[in-house]
């Protein structure tokens, strides 16, 4: 059940350690007043994402950040689903980018992840459908356990090789429906208007700030 409270102009923890995701979320929220700070800047640990859905994982992250910080927190759980791969990688979108320890540091290799998707499509055959969709779930949580959830989606198709160095994650291989450029090439302001995250944010803004 959604919480009846509404966000104001106070501090809001964005439950992420990803600088690109923080910038995108902060830009989307900028017109509405919340003072965004990241879980990473507060030194908060990243909780284990043990859920089997985007909603479950977003709620895990939001509640962990709200509880640890004593502030309302907003978490995003998003991912890519590829029709020909039965909806994979889905909730394991980021996991497909995990690499082994390298020079003492763990990390994610998104080119490797994009290549894995492309390799699996190639294994199906040259006529494999390339339809895909990005999904986004935004979860708001308050320190006392209150919560609200908003879901968004952007349909499109995959291309290869990757194009563009904007965005993050799988953006360079995803062309949204009705566009000619990938999310890695497209102007960030335009992406903010059409992305899966923008769709979810439109729902959040309508409820939290009373604006369409």
Please, are residues 182 and 88 in contact by the beta-carbon 8 Å criterion?
A: no
Q: HEC string of 181-203? A: CCCCCCCHHHHHHHCHHHHHHHH
Annotated catalytic residue: which of 3, 76, 77, 109?
A: 77
Is 109 a residue of the active site?
A: no
156 beta partners:
132, 176
Burial class (CB in 10 A: 0-12, 13-18, 19+), 79: buried
Q: Which helix (H) or strand (E) holds 165?
A: none
Structure-token pair, residue 133: 């969709």
C-beta separation of 38 from 21 below 8 A:
no
Query: What crossing angle do the helices spanning 196-208 and 19-29 adopt, rounded to 10°?
Result: 40
- Please tell me whether the peptide bond between 89 and the residue prior to it is cis, using omega within 30 degrees of 0: yes
Closest CA to 66 of 11, 115, 120: 11
Rounded distance between C-alpha atoms, residue 162 and residue 171, angstroms: 8
Q: Are 200 and 136 in contact (CB under 8 A)?
A: yes
Please list the active-site residues.
Answer: 77
């Amino acid at each position: 059940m959604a919480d009846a409270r509404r966000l104001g102009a106070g501090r809001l923890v964005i439950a992420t350690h990803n600088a690109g995701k923080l910038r995108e979320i902060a830009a989307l929220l900028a017109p509405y007043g919340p003072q965004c700070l990241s879980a990473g800047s507060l030194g908060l640990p990243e909780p284990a994402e043990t859920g089997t859905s985007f909603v479950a994982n977003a709620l895990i992250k939001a509640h962990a950040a709200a509880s640890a910080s004593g502030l309302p927190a907003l978490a995003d759980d998003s991912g890519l689903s590829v029709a020909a791969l039965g909806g994979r990688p889905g909730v394991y979108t980021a996991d497909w980018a995990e690499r082994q320890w390298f020079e003492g540091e763990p990390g994610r290799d998104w080119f490797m992840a994009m290549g894995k998707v492309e390799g699996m499509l190639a294994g199906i055959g040259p006529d494999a459908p390339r339809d895909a969709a990005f999904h986004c779930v935004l979860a708001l949580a308050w320190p006392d356990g209150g919560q609200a959830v908003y879901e968004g989606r952007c349909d499109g198709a995959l291309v290869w090789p990757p194009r563009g160095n904007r965005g993050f994650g799988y953006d360079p291989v995803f062309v949204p429906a009705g566009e000619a450029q990938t999310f890695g090439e497209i102007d960030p302001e335009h992406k903010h208007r059409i992305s899966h995250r923008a769709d979810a944010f439109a729902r959040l803004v309508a409820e939290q700030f009373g604006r369409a």
